[in-house]
Amino acid sequence: MMEGVKIWRLFAPLGELPDDGALGEVAKELRERERRYRVRTLPLGTGEPLEALKRFLEGVRAEEGILASQVDGGGVTQRYIRLHRPAATSVLAAAAVHAERSAYVLAYNRTRTDRWGRPPRLTWLARVALHSNPETREELDALEGRLFRRYPALEEALRPLEKRPFFVDAERRGQVLFPITSMEEVPYALVGGHLLPLGRAYEG
């Protein structure tokens, strides 16, 4: 995990947002953290941040699959970086997995922009955090189980691999099946019953 990152894990019935009590605690902590900064803060609004947080999580709410999104305080121009240096900005990323129930991971950090002045993408970190907790990993297992029931040849082809990522979805193109990992990458193609590693992992 990146230094200074705060992670929250929240759960809800399938297709629903976490309850206001749990979200309210996150919103309160975010407000306290953001109060230290004057510029490039999260767009939580001047009122109660709970409603802004709920609107943000609506973007990753579903009844099946994995979704991820990010909101941030914005970046700076390259001219600013040339004159000063990369600036600090606030970033809040969310990843949610929906199978038997809905599990949400939120990752927050106050971090530097990249060399082009853009806020870093933290959605990958939120996705990684889905794997590091037994309860959220259960939902990944459930999604993968559904995928294997749809494509039993994929499960058979993956069985010999000692280490492999979670697969949660797949796209078929003609006779070729492209399994998609929980990190939204496509490292293999399944042709018939043969698993072919791709030269590089495509984005899902």
Q: Are residues 24 and 47 in the same domain?
A: yes
Tens digits of pLDDT across the chain (204 residues): 566 899 999 999 999 999 999 999 999 999 999 999 999 999 876 667 899 999 999 999 999 999 999 999 999 988 888 888 889 999 999 999 999 999 999 999 999 999 899 999 999 999 999 999 999 999 999 999 999 999 999 999 999 998 899 999 999 999 999 999 999 999 999 998 899 998 765 665
CA 38 to chain centre: 27
Report yes or no on 146 lying in a domain. Answer: no
The type of residue at 114 is D
Q: What angle in degrees, to the nearest 10, is found between the helix axes of 123-131 and 134-150?
A: 90
Rounded to 5°, the CA angle 105-107-112 comes to: 160
Report yes or no on 166 lying in a domain. Answer: yes
Alpha carbons 181 and 193: distance in angstroms, whole number: 19
Report yes or no on 88 lying in a domain. Answer: yes
pLDDT for 204: 53
Report yes or no on 1 lying in a domain. Answer: no
The type of residue at 25 is E
3-state SS class at 135: helix
Report yes or no on 59 lying in a domain. Answer: yes
What is the value of pTM for the model shown?
A: 0.90
Alpha carbons 50 and 81: distance in angstroms, whole number: 33
Q: Are residues 128 and 51 in the same domain?
A: yes
Phi, psi of 129 (to 5 degrees): -65, -20
Count of domains for the chain:
2
Q: Are residues 64 and 101 in the same domain?
A: yes
Q: Are residues 53 and 135 in the same domain?
A: yes
Nearest Cα neighbor of 150 from 177, 127, 173 is: 177
pLDDT for 46: 62
Domain region containing 78:
6-139
Which strand (E) or helix (H) includes residue 49? helix 49-58
Q: Are residues 155 and 134 in the same domain?
A: no
